[in-house]
Amino acid sequence: MKKYVKTELIYNIMCSIIGYFGHDDAAPTLVRGLKRMEYRGYDSVGVLTGSDNKFTLKKGVGRVSEVNNKLGLDLLHGSTGIGHTRWATHGKVTDKNAHPHLSNSGKIAIVHNGIIENFEELKSNLQNKGFDFQSETDTEIIANLIQLNFDETSDIKQSIIKTVAQLKGHYSFVVIFEDGTLAAARFHEPLIVGVEKDNYYLSSDVLGFIEKTDDAIYIDNEDFVIVNNAGIHIFDFDGAPVKYQITKVSKEFADVYKGDYAHFTLKEISEQPDTILRSENNDQIKQFVDNIKQAKNLYITGSGTSYNAAEIARYLMSKFAKIKIDTVISSEFPFSPNDIEQDSTLITISQSGESADVLEAVRIAKKSNTNILSIVNHLNSSLSQESSLAIGLNCGPEIGVAATKSFTSQLAILYKITDKLCNGCINPDWAKVSAVFSQILSSNSKIKEIARILKEISDIYVLGRGIHLSIAREAALKLKELSYIHAEAIAGGELKHGPLALMDSNVYVIIINPNDSTYSDTMNSANEIKARGAKIIGISDKESDIYDYWIKIPPIDEILYPIIEIVPIQLLAYYTALEKKTNPDYPRNLAKSVTVK
C-alpha cells in the first residue's frame, strides 16, 4: 500500500466546464463553447470525447486557440464529451493538472469548477482503498470517488447521490461514463443546460452553448442531471426527481462577438452610448425605491468595480435623498466590526451575480433576516436567486475581464433610484449622457498619445475629491487590471498628509477635475503637485496651463460628471495595455468573476 504523502492541492476556483451529448461531433462544439467562456479562466484547457466505450483525451497549458492549434482539440472523434478551461490559484499551471481528469479505471472522466474542502480526508480514504493519483487536483478525487461508488452500485444515479453526500465545498462538475452518459451536479457553482431537440449542452454559462440554442434549464442548487439516450433527467441530491422549466436566454446574451473591434474591452467601452440608454426597467426601480423607503438599516456591498459603484450610491443617496447607507466591501463582510442588525436591507451590486464574496455577504446577512435587493447583469445568476428583488443592467454580456459598460450601467441604475427617492431632484438627461459618451469615444487621439507615454511608467496616481474620489478609485483599478501599472487613488485633500512625498519629476498624476464645486480645491492640489515637478494629466471640461496633458471632456450637468469622466480613463487603460502588448480582454492572473472566497 503506497504511503500517503500530503501534497499541495490544486483548487479550480474560477473555471469553465462544459459537456455535450447529442448527434453531432462533440469536439468542435465543446471547443467553441470553451472559447466563448475563456474569460472565466485561461491557464489551461482540455477536451475528452467518448465513442464506442472509448475515451480520447487532449489537454494542455495555454489559451483555447493556442492549445487547439497545437493538439487539434476540435478534431477529437465522438458525439459525447466534456471540456474545461482553468484559472489556477493553488499549484503550478501544468499539463498534469489540466482537466479533464480520469478515474483510476479510465472509464470515468470529469471536469470541475470550485473547491472540495474535505479533499485530504477523501483522498486518504481512497488511497487506503488502493486508488492512486496522477495530479495534485481535488478534481481527481471526485473522479475516483464516483468510480468507487459506481463500482459498488453499478448505477450512475446512485454513484452521484453517494458522491455528493461525501463532498464538502462549493462545486459544479460534469462527469462522463464509459457508455457516453453524462452526469453533472451543482452546489453553489453555476450549472446551466442548453437544450436543442435531443442535443444537450451542460455548461457553466449560457455562452457555452448560445450559438446552438437559447433554450436553457437553470439547474438549482443541490440538484444533479443525467443525460443519455433516454434524454435528460434532473434529481435533487437525495435522488428525488425534479421538474424543470426551459427558459429562453435573452437574445442580448447571444451577442458575444467582437465584430470589427480588436478586443471585447474596446467593443464594450464603445457600446456605452447605447447601453446607458438601455437600463430602463422602471417597474423594478419603483419597487426597489419602495423597499429602500421602508428599510430600517440600509447597507450596500460589492466587489471590485461594483464596490466603487456602491460608494457612488452612498454619496448620491446621502446627499440627495438624505438616506444614511453604509458601504461594506463584500470580502470584508465576514470581518465587519458590527453585525448587521435584524431586519436590515442589503443592496448588493454584482455584474456577474456569481462573485463568491458577494454571495457570502448575502449568506451572512440572511442570518439576521436581511432583505436582499440586487443589481446584476445576469438575472438568472445565483445572486438574483438569493434576492427578494433583482434589477438587471440590460447592458448585454460583458466578456472583457475589466468591467467597463457594466459600471456606467450600474451608475445609471443608482442615479435613477436616487432620483426617485428625492422625487426627481436629479432629473438626469440620459440622451445627453449618451451623446457625451459618443463625443469622448470619437476623439481619442490625445488618449492614444498619452498611452504611448504611460507604457514606460510603473506607478501612477489618480486624484479626485468628493464623489470623484470613487471615480479615482475605479480609474486606478482599470489601470491596474488592464495595463499592469501600480495605480493609486488619492483623496485630493489627503495629498499634503503623505502622498505629496511621492511627487517628483518622474511621477505622473491623473487629476479628475470637472468644472464643479470641487474644481478650485482640486486646482490647489494640482498646484502642490506641479510645484514638485510631477507631470499632470487633467481630465476636465476646462483647459488649464497646469496640465501637461489635457483630456477634454464635454461639459454636462454637475451631478452627471462621475458617469462621463470614467470613459476616457477606460480608453486610456485600454490603449496603454495595447502599447504594453498585454491582452486587454484576458489580463494575467484575473478572471471575470471570482466564484470562491
Does 390 sit near ligand BG6 (CB under 6 A)? no
CA pseudo-torsion sign 316, 321, 325, 330:
negative
When the beta carbons of 48 and 191 are compared against ligand BG6, the nearer one is 191
Bridge-partner residues for 114, per DSSP? Answer: 12, 171
310 is an interface residue for ligand BG6 by CB under 6 A: no
Q: How far is the CB of 309 from ligand BG6 (least distance, A)?
A: 9
Chain-centroid distance, C-alpha 41: 10
Say how far residue 583 (Cα) sits from the centre of its chain: 17
The reply to whether 306 sits near ligand BG6 by the rule CB under 6 A is yes
Residue from the set 303, 331, 394, 418 that interacts with ligand BG6 by CB under 6 A: 303
Report the alpha-carbon distance of residue 38 to residue 22 in Å, rounded: 23
Determine the length of the chain. 597
Q: Is 425 a catalytic residue?
A: no
- Among positions 354-373, residues that touch ligand BG6 (CB under 6 A) are 355, 358
Contact 301, 330 (CB under 8 A): yes
Q: Which is nearer to ligand BG6, 76 or 383 (CB)?
A: 383
Burial class (CB in 10 A: 0-12, 13-18, 19+), 55: buried
Q: Which of residues 93-112 bind ligand BG6 (CB under 6 A)?
A: none
What's the min distance (Å) between Cβ of 355 and ligand BG6? 3
Stretch that binds ligand BG6, among 284-292, 352-360, 467-475, 488-496 (CB under 6 A): 352-360
Residue closer to ligand BG6 (CB basis): 144 or 272: 272
Chain centre to alpha carbon of residue 46: 22
- Rg of the chain over Cα atoms, rounded to whole angstroms, equals 25
Of 99-107, 268-276, 400-408, 562-570, the segment contacting ligand BG6 by CB under 6 A is 400-408
Q: Is 305 in the site for ligand BG6 (CB under 6 A)?
A: yes
Contact between 350 and ligand BG6 (CB under 6 A)? yes
Please, which residue, 310 or 512, has the CB nearer to ligand BG6? 310
Angle separating helix axes 64-71 and 26-36, nearest 10 degrees: 150
Q: Among residues 49 and 303, whose Cβ is nearest to ligand BG6?
A: 303
**C-alpha cell read off for 379:** 438575472
Binding flag, residue 462, ligand BG6 (CB under 6 A): no
Site for ligand BG6 in 145-204 (CB under 6 A): none
Distance CA 351, CA 268 (A): 13
State the DSSP string of 67-91. Answer: HHHHH-GGG---SEEEEEEE-B-SS
Buried b (16+ CB within 10 A) or exposed e, 198-215: ebbbbbbbbbbbbbbbbe
Of residues 192, 310, 403, 512, which one binds ligand BG6 by CB under 6 A? 403
Write a three-state SS string for 486-535. EEEEEEHHHHHHCHHHHCCCCCEEEEECCCCCCHHHHHHHHHHHHCCCCE
> Which residue from 37, 593, 595, 596 is in contact with ligand BG6, where contact means CB under 6 A?
593
| Min separation Cβ 410 and ligand BG6, Å | 8
Is residue 467 at the binding interface for ligand BG6, with CB under 6 A as the rule?
no
Quote the CA–CA distance of 490 and 509 in Å, as a whole number.
Answer: 10
Report which residue's Cβ sits closest to ligand BG6.
304
Indicate which residue of 58, 212, 405, 592 is catalytic. Answer: 592
The region of 52-60, 143-151, 348-356, 498-506 touching ligand BG6 under the rule CB under 6 A is: 348-356
DSSP three-state, residue 196: strand
Which one among 45, 176, 590, 596 touches ligand BG6, defined by CB under 6 A? 590
Return the SS3 of 373.
strand
Candidate residues 202, 359, 402, 447; the one interacting with ligand BG6 per rule CB under 6 A: 402
Min separation Cβ 566 and ligand BG6, Å: 13
**Which residue among the candidates 15, 395, 405, 416 is catalytic per the annotation?**
15
With contacts defined by CB under 6 A, name the span among 140-148, 250-258, 397-405, 431-439 that binds ligand BG6.
Answer: 397-405
Phi, psi angle pair for 439, to nearest 5°: -60, -45
The count of chain residues that interact with ligand BG6, using the rule CB under 6 A, is 17
Residues that bind ligand BG6 (CB under 6 A): 303-306, 350-352, 355, 358, 401-403, 590-594
Q: Residues with catalytic annotation? A: 15, 592
